[in-house]
Amino acid sequence: MKRDTNTIIEEIERLIKEHIQPAVAMHGGVVTLHSYEEGIVTMFMSGSCSGCASSTLTLKNGIEGMLKHYIPEVIRVEGVDDENSEVAPYYT
């Protein structure tokens, strides 16, 4: 049975809130959902995640792995720096 997009987005947001954000917050990072479309999750990377060399590793090995494990509809996770973030980036 195919789940609707809103259900998938709610599940992604729950995992971010309960598991992902608390982990990255320990290092000053902030991640939020930018979009979900046809299996592709795009995450805003801000705070210390913005400009951090390890953010790609965190995104692919941590966040993508978790989302794909719990949400079979997720195919790939991509990250973009959040230009509107009010949290200071790593590289300033």
Instruction: Pick out the chain residues at pLDDT < 70.
Output: 48-53, 82-92
Handedness of CA 75, 35, 47, 22 (dihedral sign): negative
pTM of the model: 0.82
Q: Could you give all domains of the chain from N- to C-terminal order, each with its CATH number? A: 5-81 (3.30.300.130)
The per-residue pLDDT for 14 is 97
Candidates 77, 3, 82, 18; CA nearest to 50 is 82
pLDDT of residue 50: 66
What local confidence, expressed as pLDDT, does residue 85 receive?
53
- Angle at CA of residue 69, ends 19 and 50, nearest 5°: 50
pLDDT score for 5: 95
